[in-house]
Amino acid sequence: MSKLDVSRRGLLRTGAVTGAGLALPTIFTAQSAAAFTNDPTGGSVTLGFNVPQTGPYADEGADELRAYELAVDHLNGDGDGGMLNSFSSKALEGSGILGKKVEYVTGDTQTKSDAARASAKSMIEKDGAIMISGGSSSGVAIAVQGLCQEAGVIFMAGLTHSNDTTGKDKKANGFRHFFNAYMSGAALAPVLKNLYGDDRKAYHLTADYTWGWTQEESIKAATEALGWETVNTVKTPLAATDFSSYIAPVLNSGADVLILNHYGGNMVNSLTNAVQFGLRDKVVNGKNFEIVVPLYSRLMAKGAGANVKGIHGSTNWHWSLQDEGSKAFVRSFGTKYGFPPSQAAHTCYVQTLLYADAVQRAGSFNPCAVAEALEGFEFDGMGNGKTLYRADDHQCFKDVLVVRGKENPTSEFDLLEVVEVTPREQVEYAPDHPMFAGGQLGSCNPGA
């Protein structure tokens, strides 16, 4: 006969250990199934729109905010529905996202990486934002994308054109609808060849930061493939305002094309200075001197005034497009605000709808489920023809526009005209293309 010797303390200890052992897998299971950063539990879901509300890109940021507001209206069933009517996916019904009313908070990036990270962090931690979107700079986009990856929320990038955003700095939680520098080069090159021939000498002025470097690399490779010679590439400080001392050497360099890898205020000033120095009236090597601006925006063109006339560049989208999606968006935006949307507004609006649609199709706000729904997603009706969100790098592939500064604008918005819609196939590249090498997408982080 055995003796059962059980003390009170021993029983408690054994019970606690056994209980913990049995409960352990349940805790892990429960976490992995339902818990992720800012899981919306009430009747609403909060999105975080992180745009430049102060600083030099504040006007672009204001246009992005207008687009986000419009997207939220349409998601909640207000207004005319905009692109929801033309979007090929019909998962969204104008009843919020998964039945939850869409609300939003905003942050000010100031177009500074540290400020943008701070505002995104605040929206995630204090306001419970489940997704962050916006921005008008690649430096900011890369910084915020990294933060969202760490925090376990989805980042739907706004205006960011550097190859690095979906290249060496790509992240599993980050998605870019906007086109990139490589695509600008690939779209522009054939047009430049038709216009200016294959025997040209190009001089590059390049903004000295991530976007400028990849823009120069891309357009240089594309034009050299045409047979153009690169005479010189000069980096200019981002803070530069007067480019006269950089333009002057172009005059005697033997170049017959000036490529301005500048954006925003840099581009407005460098183009203005180049025109002031009479470059457009010069004849070099028996050819008319030409200026090219690889990345154009309407807001920027407005700042440069008449100097943009006849200058070629590329853009992600333009309000004059006549497809059903673009017309629907321009109608909604124009009716609400009284003027046509910019390309930044377009990409932000589309990104919000794409995120909402992905949640709806996934049936969950879990970032990993949303990422899975976005990866490899093919859609149409959003303004750039048939579009693919490539799974390998989370870059959208779609038609790219080559535009030219309009000679006789009919209004203050009518500054660019579409010269060519470059088909998607022409701007596609392999996921392991050298210009995008160096980074890993990694795995999705649900946070919590």
Backbone torsion region of residue 399, taken as left when φ is above 0, otherwise alpha when ψ lies between -120 and 50, otherwise beta: beta
Least separation, in Å, of the C-beta of 337 and another protein? 11
Which residues share a beta bridge with 291?
258
- Max CA distance (Å), the chain: 113
Structural tokens at position 317? 């989208």
Minimum CB–partner distance for residue 353 and another protein (Å) = 21
Q: Which two tokens stand for residue 286?
A: 């028996």
If you search the block for the tokens 């305002």, which residue do you land on?
A: 241
CB of 36 to another protein, least distance (A): 37
Count of positions on this chain that bind another protein (CB under 8 A): 46
Scored b (16 or more CB within 10 A) or e, 239-254 reads ebeebeebbeebeeee
User: What CA–CA distance (Å, rounded) separates 395 from 378?
Assistant: 12
The answer to whether the beta carbons of residues 304 and 272 sit under 8 Å apart is yes
CB 84 to another protein: min, Å: 19
Q: Which stretch binds another protein (CB under 8 A): 56-64, 72-80, 88-96, 401-409?
A: 56-64
156 bridge partner residues:
133, 175
Tell me: does residue 277 bind another protein (CB under 8 A): yes
What does the per-residue mask of binding to another protein show for 104-133, with x meaning CB under 8 A?
------------------------------
Which range in 176-184, 215-223, 373-381, 410-418 contacts another protein by CB under 8 A? 410-418
Nearer to another protein, 272 or 360 (CB): 272
Of positions 79, 94, 265, 431, contacts another protein by CB under 8 A: 265
Question: Considering only 67-75, 89-97, 235-243, 361-369, which stretch makes contact with another protein by CB under 8 A?
Answer: 235-243
Please tell me whether residue 268 binds another protein under the rule CB under 8 A: yes
Question: Which residue, 210 or 332, is less far from another protein as judged by CB?
Answer: 332
Q: How far is CA 239 from the centre of its chain?
A: 23
Packing angle, helices 343-362 and 324-337, rounded to 10 = 110
* Side-chain-facing half-sphere of 49: CA atoms under 13 Å: 26
CB of 339 to another protein, least distance (A): 8
Of 144-152, 211-219, 369-377, 409-417, the segment contacting another protein by CB under 8 A is 409-417
Specify the stretch interacting with another protein by CB under 8 A; choose among 55-63, 85-93, 215-223, 288-296.
55-63
Interface positions, 292-331, toward another protein (CB under 8 A)? 299-300, 302-307, 319-320, 330-331
**Per CB under 8 A, 335 contacts another protein:** yes
Binder of another protein out of 269, 314, 387, 422 (CB under 8 A): 269
- Say how many CA atoms lie within 13 Å of 435 toward its Cβ: 24
Interface residue with another protein among 39, 40, 44, 55 (CB under 8 A) is 55
Closer CB to another protein, 35 or 248, in the complex = 248
**Among residues 14, 41, 244, 443, which is the contact residue for another protein, using CB under 8 A?**
244
In angstroms, give the least distance from the CB of 277 to another protein. Answer: 6
93 phi and psi, to 5 degrees?
-120, 10
Binding flag, residue 70, another protein (CB under 8 A): no
Identify which of residues 128 and 134 has a Cβ nearer to another protein in the complex: 134
**Is the separation of the CB atoms in 371 and 359 below 8 Å?**
no
Backbone angles phi, psi at 341, to 5 degrees: -75, 155
Of 370, 401, 414, 307, the closest CA to residue 133 belongs to 370
How many whole angstroms separate alpha carbon 36 and alpha carbon 207? 39
Please work out, in degrees rounded to the nearest 5, the angle formed at the alpha carbon of residue 250 by the alpha carbons of 244 and 255: 155
Cα–Cα distance between 389 and 176 in angstroms, integer? Answer: 8
By CB under 8 A, name the binding residues for another protein: 55-59, 232, 234, 237, 239, 241-242, 244-246, 248-249, 251-252, 265, 268-269, 272-273, 276-278, 281, 299-300, 302-307, 319-320, 330-331, 334-335, 340, 410-411, 413-414
